Structure 1
Amino acid sequence: MGAWSIATAPSAQALSSYGEINDWPTYYEVPPFPAVQWQYDTTFYSRLEAWIRFFYVNTPYNWVTPAQICGYGAYVNKPGYHGSGRAFDLSRIYLHVDGLWERVFNGRYDEWRSLTGSALTVTRKRYFACAASIHYHFRNVLTYLYNTDHWNHIHIDNGVSGAGNSYFVTSSGAQVEFVRAALNYVWGYPVAINQSWDSTVDYYVRLALVRSGGAGPLTTQSYWQRFCQSTTRFGTGKQAY
């Protein structure tokens, strides 16, 4: 992601505690998976709420609340954005689908990477669809592609994007890697998955954008947001392109 500044950790008392994100209860991703309150910087928490609302309206109509969010937490007493309450580690999302609980996002690549056939295809497509919804809102997003430390969660922080939505830069290896994976696993284009930006990736991005209603450079924020939104909708089955 390029150079990250080291955030100064506030005291825990300076943060706000929440047991939900936009009224979706949060649970700790460690057995027995208890309901939990985590501590957040309030601006970052507001960005998480905006992301959840976006995710909900851009996923299928039969994915409905009540919901559950599982993760490894936000504030941790250490340097960096977790130490500022400005980072969150997401592992799973559950919603009701046709009246039954269903895991609609599974961030546990360490568990599902050995799947085969349609189970792998659907799980991976939903993974990158959800990642796309997060990338829309946050500049720093780390998936299992980044390193093995992220095989069991997606890391989210607003260290660069702050109170606003994200934007794309070709120098961000994590963003480029996400784009390549989305093109491959959601859009079906044959691109290698690595951290290098080139004309081939740009070509397939523009094809995907044409399918979703308009094409332009991904470094223009509106086209980046279109790519992320349409990837979310396409990857979850909300809309075909």
Structure 2
Amino acid sequence: MDRCGARITLTRMTTRRALLLGAAALPLAACGRFGSQSGDFDAPREERVACRTPEALTSFATLGGAPLRYEITGTEQSFNADPRFVDQLEAWAADWVAVSGLGPLTAVSTYGAHVDKCGSWHAAGRAFDFGVLTHADGTQVSCRYDTWGEDAPRLALYWRLAASLAKHFNYTLTYRYNEQHHNHIHIDNGVSGYDTFGFNEGSRTHVLLVQGVLRWVFGRDVPADGGFGQSTRDAARAVQQEYGITQRLASTEGWGAFLDAAAGAT
């Protein structure tokens, strides 16, 4: 038995994907279930392992100069993560503030970063779950799809944020990924690490994000099926042309330019 109580063998790991329960939460709540925020599917999809070794962790209590709050209680507190991952988060925060036009961050609510959760990038301190961002002008960008549902203005802000995150973190999991992500956006760098990357049309995660951005930020009529079919491809190309993006989405430059256009759209 592993520490989380799930019996996992190498044979099973290579023949099927285990359902991993429990989003990141307070460090003392390792391996537990936390109601609606349980269920991150955040290990590399083809390379799940039973447990991940924590990397050297550092404590951080702010992001982009804003205090971190535990989304469940609203309490300000610190969280632990790999220091290089914290640097990535800070680079994202600076980029988001610069591109979004919403002003400085004043609060960031989260379900957590490092947690002793077997099979998860949270265990390595290389994952983070976003709840709500608050900006200086009072604007809130909420990832709580579970509380507001099909609200167009909120969806536009949500997908602008998701686009910004996807520029920095290869795995950006939204409410479209599965029901377990209806109350937060999960990010990790489990596949890309600390390297740059472009769009992967074979990645369901990437395509779902592009389809959400195309529909709710750019107003394009595309499906939400996770497949890079002709209608999605054509809509993406139209947006690229509209914004003067000449690089391919598969390139780091083209992907970044597309996502910046989405994050900065008003």
- Amino acid of the residue matched to residue 35 of structure 1? E
Counterparts of 2:214 and 2:47, CA distance in 1: 27
> What letter matches 1:44 in structure 2?
F
Partner of 1:18: 60
CA displacement 1:52-100 (0-9 Å, x = unmatched): 000000012xx33351000100000122200011000001100121xxx
Mapped to 2, the partners of 1:197 and 1:66 lie a distance apart of 34
Q: Which has the higher strand share?
A: 1
1:1-27 deviations in Å (ceiling 9; x for gaps):
74244462227xx31001012322100
Counterpart residue identity of residue 57, structure 1: A
Give the unaligned 5+ runs of structure 1. Answer: none
Q: Structure 2 length normalisation: TM-score?
A: 0.79
Q: Report the 3-state secondary structure (helix = DSSP H, G, I; strand = E; otherwise coil) of the residue aligned with 1:84.
A: coil
The answer on whether the counterparts of 1:207 and 1:215 sit within 8 Å (CA) in structure 2 is no
Q: Give the secondary-structure state (helix, strand or coil) at the position aligned to 1:26.
A: strand
Work out the CA distance in 2 between the residues paired with 1:69 and 1:165.
25
Distance 1:222 1:70 in 2: 30
Question: Residues 160-218 of structure 1: CA distance to partner in whole angstroms, max 9, x if unpaired?
Answer: 12113332111110110111111111111111111111222121111101111123432
Q: Distance in 1 between matches of 2:200 and 2:152?
A: 28
> SS of 2:228's equivalent?
coil
State how far apart, in whole Å, the 1-side matches of 2:239 and 2:70 are: 36
**Which residues of structure 2 form unaligned runs of 5+?**
1-43
Q: Secondary structure at the match of 1:210?
A: helix
Q: 2:87 aligns with which of 24, 27, 46?
A: 46
Report sequence identity in percent.
29
Q: What letter corresponds to residue 67 of structure 2 in structure 1?
A: P
Please name the residue that 1:92 is paired with: 132
Contact 1:206–1:215 (8 Å) recurs in 2: no
Write the deviation string for residues 25-44 of structure 1: whole angstroms up to 9, x where unpaired. 1000012x100100000111
Note if 1:68 corresponds to 2:107.
yes
Q: What SS does the corresponding residue of 2:158 show, helix, strand or coil? A: helix
Q: Secondary structure at the match of 2:123?
A: helix
Distance 1:88 1:66, change over 3 A: closer
CA distance in 1, matches of 2:177, 2:240: 25
Q: Report the TM-score when normalising by structure 1.
A: 0.87
Could you say what the CA RMSD is over the residues aligned between the two structures, in angstroms?
1.6
1:195 has 2:226 as partner: yes
Residues 245 and 258 in structure 2, CA contact (< 8 A), matched pair in contact too: no
In structure 1, what residue type is equivalent to 2:83? Answer: T
Taking the aligned partners of 1:155 and 1:166, their CA distance within structure 2 comes to 18
